[in-house]
Chain A
Amino acid sequence: MADCCSGGTKLLYSCSGSADVGKLADLVSRKLRDDGYARMTCLAGIGADISGFIVSAQGADETITVDGCAQACARKSLERIGVSPRSIVLSDMGYEKGKTTVTDELVRAAAGKIKADEKTKSAPGISRNGCGCNGNC
């Protein structure tokens, strides 16, 4: 839902790719949204060059991407429109592409890890500016 005047707008984008870790990224993003961690919106809207999605991403106070693998398509999609998101890459968090069976328990665990990392802001697999430094720069 469109957010009005509240400030601190945090938008979340998921790669939702075809691999197991892409599926995990999608479900984890939905779990994070449901938990109130951020507001999830459509990465496809960015790729389709729909003005409302583009301008919203550019105007958000914070953007977060959840990618399944190191291709980081979600992060790169935002970078193409001049947005530098905080990048979360699940394969960097130990979820191996092609070898990850997605279960409810795994979704809860990954979402919990991301939320816990948010508090420490220096966890592996998370970069606040999308540079791949794992929060060390």
Chain B
Amino acid sequence: MKLEILGTGCAKCNKLEEVTRKAAHELGLDAEISKVKEINKIMEYGVMITPALAVDGVVKVAGKVPSVDEIKKIISK
């Protein structure tokens, strides 16, 4: 599974990364987690508000930082 945190590096972007890493760890997922900071790359996803989370290339979250439990639900679907 590929998890991408889309954001230019603000506090909320870092928080989303932290929450996502925790959720993946608690689920025992073998996930590749990376950050996408380049604005042009973020725009290629059609994302207009960050932070955002893409799961295997599909944007699932934009403009907010969900809880660990919410992220777990999102990435385990």
Contact = CB atoms under 8 A, between A and B. Distances in A.
- A complexed with B: yes
Interface string A25-58: 0000000000000010110010000111111101
Contact of A56 (B10, B12, B62): B62
Interface residues of B, number: 26
Chain A interface: which size bin? Answer: 20 to 34
A5 B46 contact: no
Given A55-B61, A59-B64, A2 B48 contact: yes
B60 interface: yes
Nearest to B7: A4
B61 to A, nearest CB: 7
Interface centre among B46, B50, B60 (most CB of A within 10 A): B46
Contacts of A45: 46
A42 B48 CA distance: 10
A42 B45 CA distance: 12
A56 B48 contact: yes
Contacts of A2: 6, 8, 39, 42-43, 47-50, 52
Contact of B62 (A1, A39, A42, A55): A55
Contacts of A42: 46
A75 B49 CA distance: 20
Interface of B: 6-8, 10-13, 39, 42-43, 45-52, 54, 58-64
Interface of A: 1-5, 9, 11, 39, 41-42, 45, 50-56, 58-60
